[in-house]
Amino acid sequence: MELPRRTKGDEYVAPGRYRDLETGLRQRARGENIPILFVYAFDYRTRLGPFLFIDKSLIPGAPRAIASALHAAGFTNLRVVMQQWSPQVRPSMARLGGKVPEVLMVSAMQIHSAAAYDLIRDAWRLGDQRPLILALSLIHI
């Protein structure tokens, strides 16, 4: 499901409000041990041109920024997987502290959407243990 665009002026957190939101989340997460798996999807079939070797050494900004924000908000049982370095990781097999992830976040550029869909399909197979799945995509609009 794709959500409609937000109305103009409602795209960002209001100035000065972010720390309040972070503090509120941290207070609610206190004492909880919610296992979160964040996977940056990468499709090896897209390796071409001038990015052929650099793509495996660059660290995309989204996973780092989002994982840092989650950790600062109190979600410390968090693992980030860069699929270009760990292509065999499957959400259905992942365990964090012996627990199945309760949240799966998949980040991908449009060129890597096939790999992102594979990760989502794999997590969906968990049935009743299926995590909350959040797909974050960077697409050219």
pLDDT of residue 55: 63
CB 100 within 8 A of CB 107: no
The pTM score is 0.79
Residue 99: predicted pLDDT: 93
**The dihedral of CA 26, 135, 40, 94: what is its sign?**
positive
Query: What pLDDT shows up at residue 98?
Result: 92
pLDDT at 6: 72
- pLDDT value of position 81: 92
Regions of the chain short of the pLDDT cut 50: 140-141
Specify the amino acid at residue 141: I
The tens digit of pLDDT for each residue in 57-96 reads 677 777 888 899 999 998 999 999 988 888 899 999 999 9
